[in-house]
């Protein structure tokens, strides 16, 4: 028996999140995008129009932003880590980010002025790989902690970037706390994490800004495709920083007429949905969070992103492994004429949800409540490729996690 998708409509009273939204204005995004554009590895990732799937499912358009091409690292996460590292170094050098492009970042002069730094992070895989990549380019040390259950392939990806990486016997949130204690003992240590706590807010904000390159690109690509305004935007959430970045950007882009914006979580770690049900009080999920959606297995939300999401996300939807497995197979074996997308377990979560809501009669109520119909033009982001190739094949070849 398949576990049921659940959802909650956001009826929380609006609060003042203007300060958080300033991180995601068009002017702020242009500065971030120029920084990323200076990297020799930078290319705009594809926005794929699944025209035939949209026609078959009775909507006007389904557009998938494919982040498997990002910097050769198979995930969008490097955008946040690299931007945060860049902003940190700019502050250390007394410069504005606009004065710090990639060649300056990796120059001998910058290395000499910075001295020795060790960048620390906790990760389910993609964030830590991005931080390790940035540290490697800077010729700095990097220490990465990964929660229990992390696949060897994700660990090896980070080790190949030259980091000191290990799997600890803790869940994700406890691993962050352990990482903090290690940084406190290293006078050259800097923690680069996409969640916040008292006294630690700048770097998470810079990471959210870095993620904004995804939305900035997608927005311009949609306009080039003749879509002036998507009707629906779906973004997956672990701690919520990525979803906050996406929804904050599109709320700024369409003031007063924002798209219907949906936050998608793994049901075993849906701290944001639970927080809505708790009347807006952040509600953590503890203990083991068994899900193949490793990037979403985070039980404690980022306060900064929560300020955006509780004001601008219309629905919080909790899904199970079978939903994202459906998305992986659907994107990997598309209808004739549509482009194939290799999307990993966290990457396909939003696409799997959209497909299920439109195709499965059991979710007609969800479809109606979201207002999905023949005029809908839907944006989803495939946040990662096959970052765990063995599991990807088990799901797409062997039908694992079908939920029957």
Residues in Cβ contact with 217 at an 8 Å cutoff, skipping those fewer than 6 apart:
33, 44, 45, 47, 65
Residues in Cβ contact with 187 at an 8 Å cutoff, skipping those fewer than 6 apart:
none
Residues in Cβ contact with 323 at an 8 Å cutoff, skipping those fewer than 6 apart:
5, 349, 352, 353, 356
Strands 118-122 and 6-9 turn out to be unpaired
Strand order in the sheet with 377-382: 6-9, 315-319, 260-266, 232-236, 377-382, 61-66, 47-49
Contact status, residue 24 vs residue 252, Cβ threshold 8 Å: yes
Catalytic residue among 65, 66, 124, 386: 124
HSE of 189 in the Cβ direction (CA atoms, 13 Å)? 15
Collapsing DSSP states into helix, strand and coil, what is residue 229? Answer: coil
Respond yes or no: is residue 77 known to be catalytic: yes
Length of the chain: 404
Beta carbons within 10 angstroms of residue 260's beta carbon: 18
User: What's the rounded Cα separation, in Å, for the pair 143 and 168?
Assistant: 12
Catalytic residue among 65, 66, 77, 388: 77
Distances (CA, A) of 352 to 85, 91, 127: 33, 41, 22
Respond yes or no: is residue 390 known to be catalytic: no
Supply the residues annotated as catalytic: 77, 124
């Amino acid at each position: 028996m398949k576990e049921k998708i659940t959802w909650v409509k956001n009826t929380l009273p609006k609060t003042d999140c203007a300060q958080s939204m300033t991180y995601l204005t068009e002017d702020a995004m242009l500065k971030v995008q120029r920084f990323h554009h200076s990297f020799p590895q930078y290319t705009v990732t594809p926005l794929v129009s699944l025209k035939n799937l949209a026609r078959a499912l009775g909507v006007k358009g389904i557009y998938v932003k494919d982040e498997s091409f990002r910097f050769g690292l198979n995930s969008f996460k490097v955008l946040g880590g690299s931007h945060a590292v860049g902003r940190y170094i700019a502050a250390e050098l007394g410069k504005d980010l606009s004065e710090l492009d990639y060649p300056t970042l990796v120059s001998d002069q910058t290395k000499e002025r910075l001295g020795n730094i060790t960048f620390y992070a906790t990760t389910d895989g993609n964030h830590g790989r991005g931080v390790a990549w940035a540290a490697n380019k800077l010729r700095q040390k990097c220490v990465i902690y990964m929660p229990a259950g992390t696949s060897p392939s994700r660990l090896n990806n980070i080790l190949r970037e030259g980091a000191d990486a290990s799997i600890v016997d803790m869940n994700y949130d406890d691993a962050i706390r352990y990482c903090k204690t290690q940084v406190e003992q290293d006078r050259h240590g800097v923690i680069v994490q996409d969640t916040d706590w008292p006294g630690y807010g700048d770097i998470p904000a810079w990471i959210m800004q870095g993620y904004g390159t995804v939305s900035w690109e997608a927005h311009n690509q949609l306009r080039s495709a003749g879509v002036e305004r998507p009707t629906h935007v779906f973004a997956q959430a672990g701690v919520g920083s990525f979803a906050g970045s996406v929804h904050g950007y599109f709320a700024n882009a369409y003031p007063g007429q924002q798209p219907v914006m949906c936050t998608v979580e793994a049901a075993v770690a849906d701290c944001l949905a639970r927080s809505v049900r708790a009347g807006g009080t952040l509600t953590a999920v503890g203990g083991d969070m068994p899900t193949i959606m490793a990037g979403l297995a985070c039980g404690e939300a980022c306060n900064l992103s929560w300020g955006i999401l509780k004001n601008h996300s219309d629905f919080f939807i909790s899904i199970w492994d079978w939903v994202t497995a459906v998305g992986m197979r659907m994107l990997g074996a598309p209808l004739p004429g549509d482009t194939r997308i290799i999307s990993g377990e966290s990457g396909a979560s939003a696409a799997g949800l959209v497909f299920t809501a439109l195709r499965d009669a059991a979710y007609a109520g969800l479809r109606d409540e979201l207002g999905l119909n023949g005029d809908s033009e839907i944006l989803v982001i495939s946040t990662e490729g096959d970052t765990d190739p063995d599991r990807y094949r088990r799901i797409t070849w062997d039908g694992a996690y079908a939920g029957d």
